[in-house]
A and B are shown apart, each in its own frame.
Chain A
């Protein structure tokens, strides 16, 4: 997704949250300087001070329900948004958010929620938009490692012992520990070709691992699906199989790789199309400014109007995975310098 610059005054955007949220923050963006300030052991004050010292113009906070009104008032920047990344059940947390968010509150101007709010109390919060936890897909730009045969199983989402045993007879299986650090999770994902995953809930609501795996180009085989309005397409972007069929599914994947490489590539692409952290947070900030004051937003655009995107023809563009997100309003395609329009790979 390409997004118009959120606001010309937006130079520095701070992200605050527990270290586990770090893979969900862009390492870099072309639309602003971005930086993640980890909150360890619930110590918000140090992270907020660091973000203030850095001079953030806007702040996005993961789990805003953990922030007291006093700390919410101290968040830096003219635009402060709370990202609620997993379902909220606690009445006390919702009540706190009602006090720390809204247009007339010294705290969060807006909140985002991962799905359609399910209670009237949640609906009354100043929700800007629906936003499942996105992934910094720029870290996975090399594309799927299609030759990897290793299977990854998370110990918190593993199948029955019988199904796991059957799987081990087909392919090498690595177990991902619930205690793995974000770096260890990333390294493990970089080694694997397939994630098999079991859950009693829809994928992605409580656990970002399936989305992370798809962003790394893994084939996801699961006994559950994503929320229907995410449009992550079964059979085209992941495989939906009961765990008693996982060994058979893996056997097919190994014997008929062409049929399933396409699934891995599409999963990798889908994450960038709809779940890329840079694009998602850019659009959050854009829409936050737009809806907060449409007239002021429009006035800010007239002073910094980018040129319209134009069509172009290019010859065998490099593998489209780009290390950095596209620049704002300017398409990264090149006009050909010669008429020859087909060259060998």
Chain B
């Protein structure tokens, strides 16, 4: 079978791209022809973040337009709107999260929801997504396969490493992505340090964004841009992963931590139901119950036997977990069965094209509007718009600009912050 994965930014490390590459490379190993279809030409940076990245043929959308695929799978939601550009017997969607939740902007949320409006083949990794998709789009086909745990990149240790000394806590995730909750995680750790909990902290990040956090006055050890085949060495240095993300698909990092004999404290975020059990292999906290995390850290730092109980069960969970070979065989079986029975949804291509056209025109209008005068809240009425426009003109006036030049930036910032506080 010839399978095309329509991808976004495949050249840089991310959990979502890792899932795509695991499937793509292993489907290739099973004898299928696999192509990564990219928005434009891709320049790879060496060393590669994923060792198989260079092995998989890549084509830009423009190049792929002349080809025929048995399966064309959108991945990142934006790529749904490019599906129509390739010719395929089956149009599908490797759906790893409800990506509407990644965006604050209403127009992106609304556009994202349209990606579930056609009866595609949905391949997905988490039960909550299966439920969401089947309820929203009952005419589609849904293939649920849990992501595997990579035995190459995350080989399970024999037993949790023995450690003396303070509890070692690892934070994971990029700083600047709001729903990953990294700044919030450091706030919790700071609170724990203030309350006398004894621990040391590390931070594993694809990008630290130049941040150098401290906890309890001590610098945090930063592990940045670590190639995926070395990440397990970082996990292995810590007892517990503290990850307070608010949106997850199947939630891979705690499982990777488990493989190295560590446990995890997380929110009851989507995806935790796949393998995490509070009090058995990990500790789960509802977001409103965040203060409990400090108590848990206190407990783990003073009760080594309980910590060992969680770590032992966490490792057992990882050892019992499916691997990528098994997951890929399941995906391949599903696709082969559809292929064998001649199932097709090629008739959806005109609808996909029409949706893509509307999507393009609408976004053009939104962006044009934002560049113009109305980057305003959608519920700001015409009267308020006139007032705001007058205010803008006033700010741009020559006397005001001259006055602004006389005032230091720090003072302006201070006044702005004060006004925002007073008015909000």
Contacts and interface: CB of A to CB of B under 8 A. Distances in A.
A287 B298 CA distance: 14
Interface in B84-114: 98, 100-101, 106, 109-110, 113-114
Contact of A259 (B110, B140, B292, B295): B110
Contact of B132 (A146, A265, A294, A331): A265
A310 to B, nearest CB: 4
Interface string A251-274: 000000011011001100100011
B127 A130 contact: no
A268 to B, nearest CB: 8
B128 interface: yes
A344 B281 CA distance: 36
Contact of B141 (A274, A311, A345): A345
A2 interface: yes
B17 interface: no
A135 to B, nearest CB: 13
Contacts of B288: 115, 130-132, 227, 229-231, 274
B322 A313 contact: yes
B394 interface: no
A235 B101 CA distance: 9
Given A294-B299, A319-B135, A308 B317 contact: yes
Nearest to A291: B295
Contacts of A157: none
A313 B144 contact: yes
Contact of B117 (A116, A258, A320): A258
B276 interface: yes
A231 B142 contact: no
Contacts of A92: none
A319 B333 contact: no
Interface string B138-157: 11111111101100000000
B411 interface: no
B272 interface: yes
Contact of B333 (A144, A298, A301, A340): A340
A340 B337 contact: yes
A129 interface: yes
A129 B100 contact: no
Interface in A117-138: 129-132
Nearest to B140: A345
B395 interface: no
B287 A3 contact: no
Contact of A130 (B114, B272, B289, B313): B289
A230 B327 CA distance: 34
Contact of A308 (B106, B135, B267, B281): B281
Interface residues of A, number: 69
B284 interface: yes
Contacts of A143: 135
B127 A320 contact: yes
Contacts of A283: 278, 284
B309 A320 contact: no
Given A258-B117, A262-B113, A1 B284 contact: yes
Nearest to B117: A258
Given A230-B288, A241-B379, A342-B337, A313 B146 contact: yes
B136 A265 contact: yes
B279 A290 contact: yes
Nearest to A231: B287
Nearest to B272: A1
B130 interface: yes
Contacts of A337: none
A81 B149 CA distance: 40
A103 to B, nearest CB: 15
Nearest to B246: A231
B303 interface: yes
22 contacts: A3-B277, A4-B280, A115-B288, A129-B291, A130-B291, A230-B288, A258-B136, A262-B113, A269-B128, A273-B268, A274-B286, A290-B299, A291-B299, A298-B306, A311-B275, A312-B322, A314-B144, A320-B128, A340-B333, A341-B143, A342-B121, A342-B335
Given A236-B98, A342-B338, A343-B141, 9 more contacts: A115-B288, A130-B286, A130-B289, A273-B269, A274-B286, A311-B274, A319-B135, A342-B121, A344-B141
The 3 closest A-B pairs by CB, nearest first: A4-B279, A341-B334, A320-B131
